[in-house]
């Protein structure tokens, strides 16, 4: 029996190595000190009936700070992340100003140092996300940036994207692409299909996404650089990635929960809470995304957490901004809707995204000596989404009133309990 600061008692450890019943001791330095049976410590945290997992990692979080703090801040967004089981998030660069310079990267890192999860800023690929001039990639990579993306806009210039991939290959960083051909998507506000015709809302065809997926697969083959595809939403995109992987190309992909749980039929209400980019697609696309998550074509579930103030989301559908909340519901939706074993769900939410982002201290095996970035999940509890109880500064969840299975009970960041019994501790 080993005595230390905290023991996670009575749970089942699930990590990349598999599943086993074990207690986990966290020492005073915030590291895993012991794993085994009948361990003790100065303090016991009940994990009976729960899964003890490496902390979740989100590849795609909009924290809005700097510049749009009325929607979210790093403080409020990281609290939502911790409640959702995340110990690390990659903060998207479409802030105001964009994260495209060393000064803004340092600002986000400084704010993130006080957060309830680790915040890793992604940087833009092009200055101001305007698609015209590359950012100083080497300088930003030296500050620790591992993911570069113009998220919210796809890089339209193929020659510029090739050059960016060549630089990325040399620097050992990853470019993440928002796949959208602007010429095809311009003026669209939802998926182009039966519902857009019925509702009279201009649509965005699936081909707007698929053309850029195909182009960047080709550019990845040309340059040898890794390419990560953000929030895939169409059956065609999933199949393109599947074929690229079969050929041994260095591609990875993520999908957002709303693209495997909601369809364009939701827009029949004209409620802008269902407006998102890429848009909610058809039943065939939802089935394809689920299949891609199940068979390994899609490597990660990423929230695309995109908070907006209530007044913005109450505008007319064609004037409202795109985006919806995701940090506190992603795990539960994956457990409830995918029908996958818990170890597969956690691979998609934890160690596989950590590997894509290059985060050594997150998502790794639950073994002695590693930082105690851990999540304790009750996989069978049910709960109902109440927007007023979410930690985000915004309330634009499309899941209000929806019953879900599985919820985070505890989250530990470097050994500190930032969530206990479902309540944020700071």
Distant-in-sequence, close-in-space partners of 343: CB < 8 Å, separation ≥ 6: 14, 18, 19
Q: Catalytic residue among 150, 304, 378, 386, which? A: 304
Contact 55, 37 (CB under 8 A): no
Contact 164, 148 (CB under 8 A): yes
142: enclosing H helix or E strand: helix 137-142
Paired with 376 in beta bridges are 52, 410
- Indicate left, alpha or beta for 197 from its phi (over 0: left) and psi (-120 to 50: alpha): alpha
Classified as helix, coil or strand, 299 is coil
Distant-in-sequence, close-in-space partners of 282: CB < 8 Å, separation ≥ 6: 191, 193, 194, 263, 264
Reply yes or no on whether 318 is catalytic. Answer: no
Inter-CA distances, 305 with 84, 310, 392, Å:
12, 15, 10
Provide the residue count of the chain: 426
- Please state at what angle helix 235-246 crosses helix 283-295, rounded to 10 degrees: 30
CA dihedral (416, 146, 354, 358) positive or negative:
negative
Token pair, residue 93, equals 């660069």
Nearest one of 181, 172, 176, 182 to 150, comparing CA atoms: 176
Helix %, strand %, coil % for the chain, to 5?
35, 25, 45
Nearest one of 166, 119, 171, 113 to 141, comparing CA atoms: 171
Q: Could you say which DSSP state residue 351 is in?
A: I
Q: How far apart are CA 418 and CA 91, in angstroms?
A: 19
Query: Which residues are catalytic, by number?
Result: 304
């Amino acid at each position: 029996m080993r005595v230390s600061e905290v023991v996670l008692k009575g749970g089942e450890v699930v990590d990349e190595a598999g599943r086993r019943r074990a207690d986990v001791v966290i020492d005073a330095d915030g590291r895993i000190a012991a794993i085994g049976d009948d361990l003790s410590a100065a303090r016991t945290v009940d994990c009976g009936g729960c899964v003890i997992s490496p902390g979740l990692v989100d590849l795609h979080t909009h924290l809005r700070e700097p510049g749009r703090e009325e929607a979210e801040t790093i403080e409020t967004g990281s609290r939502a992340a911790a409640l959702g089981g995340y110990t690390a998030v990659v903060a998207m660069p479409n802030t105001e100003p964009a994260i495209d310079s060393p000064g803004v990267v340092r600002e986000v890192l400084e704010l993130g140092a006080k957060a309830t999860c680790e915040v890793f800023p992604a940087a833009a690929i092009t200055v101001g996300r305007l698609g015209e001039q590359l950012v100083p990639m080497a300088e930003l990579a030296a500050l620790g940036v591992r993911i570069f993306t113009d998220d919210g806009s796809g890089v339209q210039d193929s020659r510029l994207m090739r050059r960016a991939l060549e630089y990325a290959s040399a620097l050992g960083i990853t470019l993440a692409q928002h796949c959208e051909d602007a010429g095809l998507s311009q003026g669209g506000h939802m998926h182009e299909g039966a519902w857009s015709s019925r509702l009279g809302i201009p649509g965005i065809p699936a081909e707007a996404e698929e053309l850029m997926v195909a182009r960047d697969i080709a550019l990845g083959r040309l340059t040898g650089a890794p390419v990560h595809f953000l929030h895939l939403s169409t059956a065609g995109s999933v199949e393109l990635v599947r074929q690229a992987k079969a050929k041994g190309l260095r591609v990875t992909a993520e999908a957002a929960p709303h693209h495997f749980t909601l369809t364009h039929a939701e827009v029949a209400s004209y409620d802008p809470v269902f407006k998102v980019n890429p848009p909610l697609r058809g039943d065939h696309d939802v089935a394809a995304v689920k299949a891609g998550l199940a068979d390994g074509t899609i490597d990660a579930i990423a929230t695309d957490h995109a908070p907006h103030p209530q007044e913005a989301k109450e505008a007319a559908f064609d004037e409202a901004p795109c985006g919806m909340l995701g940090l506190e519901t992603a795990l539960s939706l994956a457990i409830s809707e995918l029908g996958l074993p818990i170890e597969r769900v956690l691979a998609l939410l934890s160690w596989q995204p950590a590997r894509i982002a290059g985060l050594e201290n997150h998502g790794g095996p639950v073994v002695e000596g590693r930082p105690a970035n851990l999540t304790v999940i009750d996989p069978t509890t049910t709960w109902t989404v109440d927007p007023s109880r979410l930690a985000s500064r915004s309330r634009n969840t499309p899941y209000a009133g929806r019953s879900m299975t599985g919820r985070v009970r505890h989250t530990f960041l470097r050994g500190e309990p930032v969530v206990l019994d479902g309540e944020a501790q700071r």
